[in-house]
């Protein structure tokens, strides 16, 4: 028996970036514990961290490529799998053209170093209009607002929770979720510290969530009406002439247009729509103005709704107008060691082309995933006939999952890169499974840009990969070569195999990015010279960051720092980092002003009697952790929460089953009656519904639950951004009576 050893790592499941210590021996994980010395999490972890062991050991996890045959799935070799994919995709293209091949990339892509560094090449090589991802069921409104206002889709501000005195959280539940576009592990402790220094934490949410329960004030709001709340807050700021742009003043444009657009609303009518008293909204606006260190933060509940784009835009505007954008204690921009806003990501674009069936705008080359099923099911030129999914489970994660289920069954060919045979991948003809998260190196290229402190943390692989296993980036690399559509692809494929990024691999690339980044150890003079050469623009841009070379970052240095590298607190970075063409922060983008008309028209519409919202639980992550016995055990969690009054009126008793119905579908689910719900709102978590035949998740199948996305309407989208409306869908609920009584 070998010796017991310790391995330090950052958990890659959610955005919190917790430091963990894995005790292991002879290739076995013995325990997973919090790392008290981690530069960011300081000893916090949540119950999901142990799932890294469960995932690694799960007998249901795929370890070899599999192919669907008439008599079931069969294991095949990698070469055979890639040959088949190349041939079948080639056939689809020959029959229907390049755009007939769609791509869907899921959330774990962002948490995976190799995938992050190779998916861009893959997408470019496949060259299709039909690119989809989890972005349009998540943070798309933030990206659109950042692009339109700051000029870069990835320049998204996050809350400076360490120094703020007033933190207003709209549509986020960081106590359960670990935070999003805000890596703040152990959020509860951070709220305690905030209160300890005399600050206040305020939550705006239709449900008294775990975060609302620790808040100093909880403001229940009618789902989908945040845009009216924001307009009312801004109205107070502007009408009372409290707006103060602070250091951003000289670089801000559009204030007059914004003022005009906001002041024509009647604040009392705005407030009435939200369910929050007008007097409280006005006072909140004044409190935010009066407090030098305050912020308004909005997340998933604020953006996956009817006016998500407007809501996030106005949240940004409110922070700018009250001098809380890019200031200590306000909404700030992290300056990470590898900066996606500087060198490696496109600034973004908006509405360059539109979806074929519903005419929805692209953003950053992506179409809204709510349109994927109709693009498959609607005949005619440009119809999608093949799909490649990467680390995604859209059947459970995107609107009208049943329709997508049918659509996927209708494809001529589908391939999935995934760890499991699940609700989505069961439709694939070939599944390519990557190595487990513990078998490759880890660095949060994307999430470090949203941490509440500038940090850099790298972990090498804990275990050697098994013989014959491929990493995600290797699978993507091979698919890039096989499916590349450029002329002369064969010759360039041979060259690409020898290309520098390929030879470096993710670790080598990361090292190069760290060395040339703001905290890198490279000689900046030499880099400046190199940056003048054509083709080295990325380096030139990297060098715009302030020189923080004393940190001397490199991969080696991070390997030698198992607790991570602390790069200091967040610092103001505007106007330097504004990337709009005129280098001005734009408060009044045309697209937003136009969409405001839509909200104005809706102001007087009678609200639906009952609407549906979602929720997250600390022991679950989207759709893919329900195969861990210790995470799913205990009380069933896929319940429909409802207010006692709404339940009584419908003759529904606690624990009984009810039918939840919308325009697109219905599910039957156990009811949980609770005062935590606002009247007129019911709540169901997402990521469940593991009873679809053909999936192979033996633990999850025993606690299947139902999928909220079977009732979420694919036709309801935020028209400004194309984001799916996951919250605020009109529904009906009725008791399911035993057959004998019916």
Ligand X SMILES: Nc1nc2c(c(=O)[nH]1)N[C@H]1C(S)=C(S)[C@@H](COP(=O)(O)OP(=O)(O)OC[C@H]3O[C@@H](n4cnc5c(=O)[nH]c(N)nc54)[C@H](O)[C@@H]3O)O[C@H]1N2
Interface residue list for ligand X (CB under 6 A): 14-15, 106-108, 112, 134, 137-138, 170-174, 176-178, 180, 204-207, 209, 221, 223-224, 226, 299-302, 305, 390-394, 397, 417-420, 422, 434, 437, 472, 613-618, 620-624, 686-687, 708-709, 712, 726-728
Residue 174 interacts, among ligand SF4, Mo ion, ligand X, none and using kind-specific CB cut-offs from 5 to 8 Å, with ligand X
21 is a site residue for ligand SF4 (CB under 6 A)? no
Binding mask 123-162 for ligand SF4 (x = CB under 6 A): ----------------------------------------
Cβ proximity to Mo ion: between 138 and 362 the closer is: 138
Q: Which of Mo ion, ligand X, ligand SF4, none sits in contact with 320, Cβ below 5 to 8 A by type? A: none
Contacts of 597 by beta carbon, 8 Å cutoff, 6+ apart? none
Cβ atoms of residues 664 and 711 within 8 Å: yes
109 vs 639, which CB is nearer to Mo ion? 109
- Is residue 175 at the binding interface for ligand SF4, with CB under 6 A as the rule? no
Around Cβ 504, how many Cβ atoms within 10 Å? 14
CA angle 575, 579, 580 (to 5 degrees): 105
Q: CB-based contacts of 60: which residues, under 8 Å, 6+ apart?
A: 420, 421, 627, 696, 697, 698, 699
The binder of ligand SF4 chosen from 11, 175, 703, 706 (CB under 6 A): 11
Q: Which of 469, 478, 631, 476 is nearest to 62 (CA)?
A: 469
Q: Which of 91, 172, 18, 209 is nearest to 483 (CA)?
A: 91
Among 7, 8, 9, 14, binds ligand SF4 (CB under 6 A): 14
Residues 291-330 that bind Mo ion (CB under 5 A): none
**Of these, 22, 49, 376, 476, which contacts ligand SF4 (CB under 6 A)?**
49
Residue 672 as a binder of Mo ion (CB under 5 A): the answer is no
Smallest distance from the beta carbon of 159 to ligand X, in angstroms?
12
Q: For Mo ion, which residue of 15, 121, 138, 236 counts as binding (CB under 5 A)?
A: 138
Q: How far apart are CA 301 and CA 224, in angstroms?
A: 9
CB of 526: closest distance to ligand SF4 in angstroms? 38
Give the binding-site size for ligand SF4 (rule: CB under 6 A): 12
Partner interacting with residue 616 (select from ligand SF4, ligand X, Mo ion, none; CB below 5-8 Å by kind): ligand X
Provide the minimum distance between the beta carbon of 181 and ligand SF4 in the complex, in angstroms, as a whole number.
14
- For the four alpha carbons of 26, 28, 34 and 38, in that order, the dihedral sign comes to positive
DSSP line for 556-600: HHHHT-TT-EE--S----TTTT--STTS-EES--HHHHHHHHHHH
Residue 595, Cβ density class (10 Å: 0-12 exposed, 13-18 middle, ≥19 buried) = buried
Beta carbon nearer to ligand SF4, 219 or 462: 462
User: Residue 457 CB, nearest distance to ligand SF4 (Å)?
Assistant: 11
**Nearest-10 crossing angle of helices 267-274, 278-290:** 100
Contacts of residue 627, defined as CB under 8 A and 6 or more positions apart, other chains included, come to: 54, 58, 60, 420, 697, 698, 699, 700
Between the CA atoms of 655, 661, 665 and 669, what dihedral angle is there, to the nearest 10 degrees? 0
Q: Is 353 helix (H, G, I), strand (E, B) or coil?
A: strand
Question: To which residue do tokens 């040959």 refer?
Answer: 83
The residue among 46 and 596 lying less far from Mo ion, judged by its C-beta, is 46
How far apart CA 321 and CA 327 sit, in angstroms, is 12
- Give the x/- contact pattern for ligand SF4 in 179-198, rule: CB under 6 A: ------x-------------
- Residue located via tokens 């016995």: 629
Which of the ranges 134-142, 375-383, 479-487, 597-605 carries the binding residues for Mo ion, by CB under 5 A?
Answer: 134-142
Q: Which is nearer to ligand SF4, 48 or 426 (CB)?
A: 48
d(CA 69, CA 62): 17
Neighbour count for residue 735 (Cβ, 10 Å):
16
- Asked if residue 13 binds ligand SF4 (CB under 6 A), the reply is yes
Among 65, 157, 174, 178, binds ligand SF4 (CB under 6 A): 178
Q: How far apart are CB 143 and ligand X at their closest, in Å? A: 13
Q: Which residue, 138 or 375, is less far from Mo ion as judged by CB? A: 138
Which of 438, 443, 416 is CA-nearest to residue 427? 416
Q: Minimum Å distance from CB 113 to ligand SF4?
A: 15
Which pair of structure tokens corresponds to residue 460? 């090498």
Give the integer Cα–Cα distance in Å for 127 and 467.
33
**Which residue's CB is nearer to ligand X, number 332 or number 631?**
631
Q: Is the CB of 45 or the CB of 310 nearer to ligand SF4? A: 45
Question: Nearest approach, Cβ of 461 to ligand SF4 (angstroms)?
Answer: 18
Break the chain down into helix, strand, coil percent, rounded to 5.
Answer: 40, 20, 45
Say which entry of ligand SF4, ligand X, Mo ion, none residue 394 contacts (CB below 5 to 8 A, set by partner kind). ligand X
18 forms part of the interface with ligand SF4 (CB under 6 A)? yes
Separation of CA 39 from chain center: 23
- Least CB distance from residue 299 to ligand X, whole Å? 3
- Residue positions counted in the chain: 742
Q: Among 741, 735, 729, which Cα is nearest to 659's?
A: 735
Residue 16 within binding range of ligand SF4, rule CB under 6 A: yes
Tokens representing 327? 């200031």
Residue nearest to ligand X (CB): 301
Per rule CB under 5 A, count of chain residues that contact Mo ion: 1
Enumerate binding residues for Mo ion (CB under 5 A). Answer: 138
Enumerate binding residues for ligand SF4 (CB under 6 A). Answer: 11, 13-14, 16-18, 45-46, 48-49, 178, 185
């Amino acid at each position: 028996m070998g010796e017991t050893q310790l391995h330090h790592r950052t958990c890659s499941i959610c955005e919190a970036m917790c430091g963990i210590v894995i005790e292991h021996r002879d290739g076995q994980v013995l325990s997973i514990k919090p790392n008290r010395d981690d530069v960011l999490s300081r000893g916090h972890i949540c119950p999901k961290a142990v799932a890294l062991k469960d995932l690694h050991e799960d007998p249901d996890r795929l370890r070899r490529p599999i192919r669907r045959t008439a008599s079931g799935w069969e294991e095949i070799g990698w070469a055979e799998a890639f040959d088949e994919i190349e041939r079948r995709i080639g056939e689809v293209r020959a029959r229907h053209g390049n755009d007939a091949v769609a791509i869907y990339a899921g959330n774990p892509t962002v948490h995976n170093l190799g995938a992050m560094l190779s998916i861009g090449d893959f997408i470019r090589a496949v060259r299709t209009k039909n690119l989809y991802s989890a972005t349009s069921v998540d943070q798309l409104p933030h990206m659109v607002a950042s692009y339109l206002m700051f000029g870069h889709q990835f320049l998204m501000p996050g809350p400076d929770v360490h120094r703020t005195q007033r933190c207003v959280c709209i549509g986020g539940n960081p106590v359960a979720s670990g935070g999003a576009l805000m890596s703040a592990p152990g959020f509860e402790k951070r709220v305690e510290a905030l209160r300890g220094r005399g600050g206040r934490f305020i939550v705006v949410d239709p449900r008294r969530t775990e975060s609302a329960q620790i808040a100093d004030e909880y403001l229940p709001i009618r789902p989908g009406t945040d845009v009216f709340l924001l307009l009312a807050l801004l109205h107070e700021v502007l009408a009372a002439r409290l707006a103060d742009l602070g250091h951003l003043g000289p670089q801000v444009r559009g204030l007059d247009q914004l003022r005009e657009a906001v002041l024509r609303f009647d604040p009392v009518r705005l407030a009435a729509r939200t369910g929050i008293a007008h007097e409280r909204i006005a006072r909140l606006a004044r409190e935010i103005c009066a407090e030098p260190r305050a912020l308004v933060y909005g997340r998933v509940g604020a953006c996956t709704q009817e006016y998500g784009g407007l809501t996030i835009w106005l949240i940004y505007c409110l922070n700018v107008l009250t001098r809380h954008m890019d200031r200590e204690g306000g909404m700030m921009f992290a300056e990470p060691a590898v900066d996606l806003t500087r060198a490696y990501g496109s600034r973004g674009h908006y509405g360059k082309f539109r979806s074929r069936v519903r005419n929805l705008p692209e953003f950053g080359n992506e179409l809204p995933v709510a349109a994927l099923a109709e693009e498959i099911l609607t005949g005619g030129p440009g119809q999608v006939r093949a799909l490649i999914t990467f680390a995604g489970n859209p059947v459970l994660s995107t609107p009208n999952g049943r329709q997508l289920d049918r659509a996927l069954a209708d494809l001529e060919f589908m391939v999935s890169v995934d760890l499991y045979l699940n609700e989505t991948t069961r439709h694939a003809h070939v599944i390519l499974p990557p190595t487990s998260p513990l078998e490759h190196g880890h660095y949060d290229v994307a999430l470090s840009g949203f941490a509440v402190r500038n940090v850099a943390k790298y972990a090498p692989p804990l275990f050697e990969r098994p013989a014959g296993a491929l990493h995600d980036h290797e699978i993507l690399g091979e698919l890039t070569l096989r499916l590349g559509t450029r002329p002369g692809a064969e010759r360039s494929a041979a060259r690409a195999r020898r290309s520098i990024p390929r030879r470096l691999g993710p670790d080598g690339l990361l090292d190069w990015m760290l060395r040339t980044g703001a905290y890198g150890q490279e000689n900046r003079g030499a880099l400046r010279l190199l940056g003048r050469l054509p083709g080295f623009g990325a380096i030139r841009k990297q060098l715009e960051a302030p020189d923080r070379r004393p940190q001397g970052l490199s991969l080696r240095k991070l390997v030698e720092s198992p607790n991570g590298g602390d790069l200091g607190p967040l610092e103001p970075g505007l106007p330097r980092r504004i990337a709009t063409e005129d280098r001005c922060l734009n408060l009044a983008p045309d697209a937003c002003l136009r969409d405001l008309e839509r909200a104005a028209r809706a102001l007087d519409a009678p609200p639906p009697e009952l609407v549906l919202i979602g929720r997250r639980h600390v022991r679950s992550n989207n759709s893919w952790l329900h195969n861990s016995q210790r995470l799913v055990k205990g009380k069933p969690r896929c319940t429909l929460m409802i207010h006692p009054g709404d339940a009584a009126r419908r003759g529904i008793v606690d624990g009984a089953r009810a039918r939840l119905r919308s325009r697109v579908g219905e599910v039957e689910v156990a009811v949980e009656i609770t005062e935590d719900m606002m009247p007129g709102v019911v709540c169901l978590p997402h990521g469940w519904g593991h009873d679809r035949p053909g999936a192979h998740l033996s633990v999850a199948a025993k606690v299947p639950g139902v999928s909220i996305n079977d009732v979420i309407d694919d036709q309801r989208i935020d028209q400004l951004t194309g984001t799916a409306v996951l919250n605020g869908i009109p529904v009906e609920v009725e008791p399911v009576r035993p057959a004998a009584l019916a």
